[in-house]
Amino acid sequence: MKRKTLTQYLVEQQRAEHALGSEVRLLIEIVSRACKTISHAVSKGALGGVLGSLESENVQGEVQKKLDVISNEVLLEANEWGGHLAAMASEEMETIHLIPNRYPKGEFLLLFDPLDGSSNIDINVSIGTIFSVLRAPASASGREITEEDFLQPGSTQVVAGYAIYGPQTMLVLTIGQGVMGFTLDREMGSWLLTHENMTIPADTKEFAINMSNMRHWAPPVRRYIDECLAGKTGVRGKDFNTRWIAAMVADVHRLITRGGIFMYPWDAREPGKPGKLRLMYEANPMSMLVEQAGGASTDGTQRILDIQPTSLHQRVGVVLGSKNEVELVTRYHHEASKSA
């Protein structure tokens, strides 16, 4: 069977009515090439000397793994020279990365979590790269990009995607025209379209949440999970299954493939923080993908893509996946705040 390559898909999208711009096409090609390089490094593991941690901490105060830093550098280097970007931002860097003056600048902003699920690296379990593309505001034309230029709601994203480094390496992408999954053919070195128009069923019997935090959850989350756990004889009238890979990219990939609900909600461990996951590098791109696949995504009360960011490294509660389940959790939050 002759499959479409990523390049063929993108060229078709350029010719389509919605005419994908040539800068965006170049951007996607370059990001996907960088993901190939990261995939190669990941698959070498101990043989490539890439496992383990460094002495350093990132801006979030987390110990950096060697692969966090390698992946960040690969993405920065790959995207500097193409002339398609105005600036980049990464979960691993405190401030934004401007395109050096020796290169031409474009009109897009690239954000990424270079290696999501770092705690899985050393145990040989799936990890990934998540990315998001925004257009630089018109007001930024002719001046240097600032952090504020990145603070746009997720609904303005032009592209969102991730690469997952698992048993297969896959690139899952949306340009706002559905969700497409490409598998890396290692011999050919090309991304081939294997999963066209990925869709999330509205109902599911599978939930993903870190159960060890149960005692810290807010009552609506507790209520939802208690009802799932009650199974067939409970109010939901069906048995649920649970999965937790501890890499958002892998948990989201599962639900984009076969449905499910994923939650990393606010909890009382650090009550001042709205959640663990980052709005700009994780929640926004994943929410765009999930919505494009027919699912839903909220922070418990509000659609994530509508949130106006106030800082680059902002955190957020996340509830996303199969539509009917996400709506139920969101309703429980609204009911709880009404009765409070």
Among 106, 114, 117, 166, binds ligand F6P (CB under 6 A): 117
CB of 172 to ligand F6P, least distance (A): 15
35, 134, 247, 328: residue in contact with ligand F6P (rule CB under 6 A): 247
CB–CB of 278/316 below 8 Å? yes
Q: Among all chains, which residue has been given the structure tokens 């350093």?
A: 56
Largest Cα–Cα separation, the chain: 66
Residue of 246, 303, 313, 324 that binds ligand F6P (CB under 6 A): 246
31 in contact with ligand F6P (CB under 6 A): no
Give, for 71, the enclosing helix (H) or strand (E).
Answer: helix 66-80
Q: How far is the CB of 319 from ligand F6P (least distance, A)?
A: 13
How many chain residues bind ligand F6P (CB under 6 A)?
10
Closer by beta carbon to ligand F6P, 65 or else 135: 65
Class of residue 24 by CB neighbours under 10 A (exposed 0-12, middle 13-18, buried 19+): buried
Q: What is the dihedral of CA 99, 66, 118, 64, to 10 degrees?
A: -80
Cα pseudo-dihedral 23, 28, 31, 37, rounded to 10:
-130
State which of positions 196-235 bind ligand F6P (CB under 6 A).
210
Residue closer to ligand F6P (CB basis): 25 or 276: 276
Which is nearer to ligand F6P, 247 or 288 (by Cβ)? 247
Q: Which is nearer to ligand F6P, 276 or 333 (CB)?
A: 276
Q: What is the x/- site pattern for ligand F6P, positions 75-114, by CB under 6 A?
A: ----------------------------------------
Cβ atoms of 284 and 318 within 8 Å: the answer is no
Cα-based distances in Å from 48 to 74, 169, 188, 232 = 15, 18, 22, 49
Binding residues for ligand F6P (CB under 6 A): 116-117, 119, 210, 246-248, 264, 276-277
